[in-house]
Amino acid sequence: MTELKITGMNCEHCVRAVRDALAAVSGVAEVASVELESGRALVDGQADPAALIAAVKDAGYGAEVA
């Protein structure tokens, strides 16, 4: 399980955009959660954390491993 800190989300549309971006990364088995209030995302699988961060940034948000 990889936990990411996400910045720049301010509505449910943002949550969906981040969830969709993470789900598209190779090696992601499941996006367990993306939480607007905490700014956290949990991703299950064998995806490279750098690829997860890049996908979130490409969607227009900030990300780092929590």
| Predicted confidence (pLDDT) per residue in 19-62, tens digit | 999 999 999 999 999 999 999 999 999 999 999 999 999 999 99
For residue 6, the model assigns a pLDDT of: 98
Residue holding tokens 């956290």? 40
Write the DSSP symbol of residue 26: T
Q: At how many degrees (to 10) do helices 12-23 and 49-58 cross?
A: 140
Q: Residues 17, 8: contact at Cβ < 8 Å? A: no
pTM confidence score: 0.93
Split at pLDDT 50, 70, 90, the class of 63 is very high
pLDDT for 44 equals 97
Question: For 42, how many CA atoms within 13 A lie in the half-sphere containing its CB?
Answer: 5
- One-letter amino acid of 53: I
Q: Residue 7's beta-bridge partner residues? A: 62
Which pLDDT value is given to residue 22?
A: 98
Q: Residue 5 — very low, low, confident or very high, per pLDDT cuts 50/70/90? A: very high
